[in-house]
């Protein structure tokens, strides 16, 4: 009877180990990578939102990001709504960025001069 209890505990440990390495560990790595991407957002980054809207970051606040999508059209998104950064490798930038830079809200004065895909709308 004692041997069957040990076998059952061993099988539960093996099962939990498999679940951890197949599901939990990759998910936590993916969450960490996404958090690093959102923390590395900076002005004039070309981004894509979870809704598929393409634009250029013009202002960064603590919880929100202002994205220019066309001439005289800026939309405010919460940070988790940014799906990807298109124009740079954020993994290298995360290592270089200091905490001071990410705590300050920043605004672009020349938002109308930012590159736009909608140049013919002027």
Quick check: is 9 in a domain? no
Quick check: is 17 in a domain? no
> Sorting pLDDT into bands at 50, 70 and 90, what band is 46?
very high
When pLDDT is averaged across residues 47-51 and rounded to a whole number, the result is 95
pLDDT of 28 above 70: yes
Long-range contacts made by residues 62-66, C-beta under 8 angstroms, separation at least 24?
A: 62/103, 62/105, 65/41
When pLDDT is averaged across residues 43-47 and rounded to a whole number, the result is 94
Quick check: is 81 in a domain? yes
Quick check: is 102 in a domain? yes
Phi and psi torsions of 74, nearest 5°: -125, 135
Q: Among the listed ranges 1-10, 45-54, 112-121, which one has the minimum average pLDDT value? A: 112-121
Quick check: is 62 in a domain? yes
pLDDT of 96 above 90: no
Residue of higher predicted confidence among 1 and 68: 68
How many structural domains compose the chain? Answer: 1
Quick check: is 3 in a domain? no
Q: Among the listed ranges 5-19, 59-73, 78-92, which one has the minimum average pLDDT value? A: 78-92
Quick check: is 15 in a domain? no
Q: Can you give the residue range of the structural domain that contains 55?
A: 40-121
32 vs 25, 84, 91, 99, CA distance in Å? 11, 14, 11, 17
pLDDT of 107 above 60: no
Quick check: is 117 in a domain? yes
């Amino acid at each position: 009877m004692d041997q069957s209890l040990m076998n059952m505990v061993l099988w539960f440990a093996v099962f939990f180990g498999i679940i951890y390495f197949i599901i939990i560990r990759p998910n936590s790595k993916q969450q960490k990578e996404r958090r690093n991407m959102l923390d590395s957002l900076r002005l004039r980054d070309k981004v894509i939102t979870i809704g598929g809207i393409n634009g250029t970051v013009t202002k960064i606040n603590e919880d929100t990001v202002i994205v220019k999508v066309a001439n005289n059209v800026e939309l405010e998104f919460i940070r988790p709504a940014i799906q990807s950064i298109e124009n740079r490798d954020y993994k290298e930038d995360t290592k270089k960025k200091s905490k001071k830079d990410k705590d300050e809200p920043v605004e672009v004065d020349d938002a109308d001069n930012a590159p736009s895909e909608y140049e013919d709308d002027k």
